[in-house]
Structure 1
């Protein structure tokens, strides 16, 4: 399982994505689950990171799911029309 940090804004997005991508590549499981529950301070960059990890999973032939998505981030995903891309675990 991949775990998002407590803070994920534009300032942390690049480093977070790099770490998550490396962790995803090491995952032995066919399904990669990202735990978003620790997020308490974020902006739309968190969605960009999640979508980028989803793309990396697809490239690697792995399934992607998110658990613990904060309501505010779920609302933001709905506003952008991408909530369907963030499959619940």
Structure 2
């Protein structure tokens, strides 16, 4: 299976989390790929909900035998993931 590449939006806070997760789930379900790569580069405004979305998507993918990789981490998001101890779970 090929790789699926998706991007996060510029804004991902608690207000947008459910909508963004639903969009990502929909896009993943329409494409076949063993590895789903999420480009976090577009993120400008975010809170810990961004990590929650990524971790939930990872959980769903692992249940289907797929994996998740996050690329182009904004510095603040990477620092937050490291602080929470989840950076390695989302490694590129």
- TM-score, normalised on structure 1? 0.94
| CA-CA distance at 1:26 after TM superposition | 1.7
Counterpart residue number, 1:55: 59
Structure 1 runs not aligned, ≥5 long: none
- TM-score, normalised on structure 2? 0.91
Counterpart residue number, 2:46: 42
Q: Take 1:85 and 1:36, find their aligned partners in 2: how far apart are those partners?
A: 15
Runs of 4 or more consecutive aligned structure 1 residues displaced over 2 Å after TM superposition? none
Structure 2 runs not aligned, ≥5 long: none
Counterpart residue number, 1:68: 72
| CA-CA distance at 1:27 after TM superposition | 2.1
How many residue pairs match? The answer is 88
